[in-house]
Structure 1
Amino acid sequence: MKEIKIESTLYAFNSLNETPKEIQDLMEIAIEARKKAYAPYSKFKVGAAILLENGEIVSGSNQENASYPSGLCAERTAIYYAGAKYPNVKIVNMAITAASENQETLEPIPPCGACRQAIAEYENNQENAIEIYFMGVSGKVVKSNSLANLLPFGFNKSNL
C-alpha cells in the first residue's frame, strides 16, 4: 500500500476590504444577487458573480423549489448562464456569498459538491484556473487559486 497525500493551499482575508478592489466589486455584485435568491424552504440565500475574460460580469442566485432536486444553486445558475450567453469566453474569477435567515453565517461558505463539479467542468475545458473567493454574510473571505484546490481527484471527460 502506498500513501497518497493531498494538499491544498487557500488564502484567508480578514474582511472583504482586504481583497483587491476588483474582487470587492465582484463580491458586491454577488451580494446583490444573494438578495434576489428564492429560498423559502432552506432560508439559506446564496449569490455568485463571475468575471469573464472579456470583462463581462454574470451573476446568479439560488432558486429553490418545493420539489428539492428541481432547485439550482447560485454558482451553477451563474456559470451555466455564462456558458450559454458567452460560450468560449474564459472565466477569470468567481465570488460567492451565503447568508442564512436561521443563524449568522460569519464563516466562509464554499461551493457544494455539485457546484464544485460544475465549476471543474468549465475550468478543465478552458484549461485555465478559475480564482474562487467565498464568504458568509460578512467577515473572512477565502480565496482558492483554482477549483482543483477544492475538489482534488475531480472527475472530468478524460475519465469517460
Structure 2
Amino acid sequence: MKKELTLNFDYFTAAAELSDIEKTLFEKAKTAREKAYAPYSDFFVGCAVLLENGEIICGNNQENAAFPSGLCAERTAVFYIGANFPEQKIKKIFIVGGPRIFSEKTPAIPPCGACRQSLMEYETKQHENIEVYFSNLKEEIYKVNAVKDLLPFYFDSTFL
C-alpha cells in the first residue's frame, strides 16, 4: 500500500510580508547569527524564539574543534529556555543561516535533523504547536505551523 504525505507551508519573498512580531524575530535572528562562533565551517546560524510571555530568546551556533561537540543555534536557544523558563511555552522560532560571506545562491536554511528532534520534544512537552520560520539573508522565508510538519515520522515518549 502506498500512502502520501502533504506538507503545507507559507512562503514569503521579503520580510516586509511578515507581521510586526515576525519581523522582529527575523531581525533578532539575523543579529544572533552575526555573533555565532563558527571558525571551522564558516557557516553562521542565528535564531530567535518567542515565548508565551512575550520574551524573545536568541541563540547561535557554537562550534568546537572536537566535532561534534558544538551546538546548533536552535538547540542553544531552546536548551537555555528549558533551563531558565521551563514553564513557558514556545510560540515561534525564527532561523536565519548561511555562509559568513553571503551568497545569492544560498537557499533558506531549515533546522537540521537533530534540531528538529529537539524542537519536537518541546512541542510534545507543551502540547501545542511551535511555528517554525527559516530563511536566508536575502529574505526568502518559509513558515510551517508545527515542528511535526518538518518531522512527520517523529519519535517521542509514546514509543518508550
TM-score range, shorter chain: over 0.9
Amino acid at match of 1:4: K
Deviation of 1:138 after TM superposition, in Å, equals 1.9
Deviation at 1:43, TM superposition (A): 0.3
How large is the Cα RMSD of the aligned pairs?
A: 1.2
Question: CA shift at 1:103, angstroms?
Answer: 5.7
Secondary structure, aligned partner of 1:78: helix
Partner of 1:35: 34
Matched residue, 2:83: 84
Residue ranges of structure 2 left out of the alignment (5+ in a row): none
- Other-structure match for 1:144: 144
How far did residue 53 of structure 1 move?
0.2
Please list every run of at least 4 consecutive aligned residues from structure 1 whose deviation after the TM superposition is greater than 6 angstroms: none
For 1:138 and 1:119, the matched residues in 2 are separated by: 25
CA contact (8 A) 1:108 1:142 kept: yes
TM normalised by structure 2 equals 0.95
Match of 1:109 in 2: 109
Q: Counterparts of 1:130 and 1:26 in 2: how far apart (Å)?
A: 14
Q: Percent identity?
A: 46
8 Å contact from structure 2 (residues 37, 44) kept in 1: yes
Unpaired runs of at least 5, structure 1: none
Q: Compute the displacement of 1:99 (Å).
A: 2.1
Contact preservation (8 Å) 2:45, 2:96: yes
SS of match in other structure, 1:60:
strand
2 CA distance for matches of 1:83 and 1:129?
16
Looking at structure 1, the residues matched to 43 and 49 of structure 2 have their Cα atoms a distance apart, in angstroms, of 20
CA contact (8 A) 1:79 1:119 kept: yes
Q: Which amino acid aligns with 1:56?
A: E
